[in-house]
Amino acid sequence: MKLVDLVQGYYEYRGYVEPSLWEAYLWLVSEVGELGEALLQDDRHDWVRNNPDKALKDFMDVNSEIGDVLMMLTRVAHEMGVDPMEEMLANWKRKGYVPEEKEMSYVNVFIESASLAVAERIAEQRRLEEREVKIIASRLKIYDALKEIVDLGLEDEDGELVELNLHPWSANTFVVGTRNDRYFVGCDHSSFGFFWYTREDDRHCGYFDDVMREVAQKMGRAFFVKQEVPCGQNQSV
């Protein structure tokens, strides 16, 4: 793994726009400037760009700025098609110095471990994105099924129509019913299973079809279909 590949992995992870050679160089210059300011702050803690009102929270971290300079220097090399580590070693070799294999192993271990860390972060980001897609799909599935129930025109004994709303504290749970009798239906974050419960009941979990069938049956017994019949009474589901 080359240093340029390591920085490229970070760029892809953060979704940065690929800079041109000139843009990368200007970023490098700006990072060198920030490193200079950080060194001044580190050397003279009362110096805050000649602004005594500047908040202490803006104090810059020298170590962090050194890392930024190295990253942008590497990015400049990337745009030129070279790797700064390889070029540095080639310069040393031309001048008669070749690091011992033991010394180089430390460098390789550092680069490989850093590369692995970036790869793991990218993989984790993709896992989170895939998980979010599954949750959204499950949420839409629940909404469509509950909407079919609500569209029946159910109402309680007081004539209050059943409504479908999002749970105020959980984006993955829907509330269906009236103010007096409500059912909570949602999808689980970790297992992507489905569940439902009322204010009085314990949580019931299961597969989507089983959960929705049970909810429909419970609601069918608790509510009435708003439908005119000869006797003038609402007909039970």
- Can you give the CATH number for the domain in which 75 is found? 1.10.287.1080
Q: Which of 98, 121, 153 is the last residue of a domain?
A: 98
In the sheet that 154-155 helps form, which strands lie side by side, from edge to edge?
Answer: 154-155, 224-225, 235-236
Give residue for tokens 């031309």: 94
Q: Is residue 231 part of a domain?
A: yes
Q: What is the pLDDT of residues 69-98, one digit of tens each?
A: 888 888 888 888 888 888 888 877 887 877
Alpha helical stretches, state H, the chain: 3-14, 21-43, 62-79, 84-94, 101-150, 208-222
User: Does residue 151 share a domain with residue 82?
Assistant: no
Q: What is the pLDDT of residues 95-142, one digit of tens each?
A: 787 776 655 665 666 666 666 766 677 777 778 788 888 888 888 888
User: Does residue 142 share a domain with residue 70?
Assistant: no
Number of domains in the chain: 2
User: Does residue 230 share a domain with residue 141?
Assistant: yes
Q: What is the pLDDT of residues 197-210, one digit of tens each?
A: 887 778 888 888 88
Q: Is residue 122 part of a domain?
A: no
User: Does residue 140 share a domain with residue 90?
Assistant: no
Neighbours of 74 (CB within 10 A): 23
User: Does residue 230 share a domain with residue 140?
Assistant: yes
User: Does residue 30 share a domain with residue 79?
Assistant: yes
Q: Is residue 114 part of a domain?
A: no
Q: Which residues pair with 174 in a beta bridge?
A: 166, 185
How far is 94 from 141, CA to CA, in rounded Å?
66
**More reliable by pLDDT, 120 or 47:** 120
- Ranges 100-104, 158-162, 166-170, 197-201: which has the least confidence: 100-104
Domain residue limits at 213? 136-236
User: In the prediction, which pLDDT does 47 show?
Assistant: 57
User: In the prediction, which pLDDT does 172 show?
Assistant: 83
User: In the prediction, which pLDDT does 234 show?
Assistant: 38
Q: Is residue 109 part of a domain?
A: no
Q: Which of 71, 98, 125 is the last residue of a domain?
A: 98
Angle between helix 84-94 and helix 62-79 axes, rounded to 10 deg:
80
CA-nearest of 69, 83, 82 to 27 is 69
Q: Which of 72, 98, 124 is the last residue of a domain?
A: 98
How far is 82 from 137, CA to CA, in rounded Å?
45
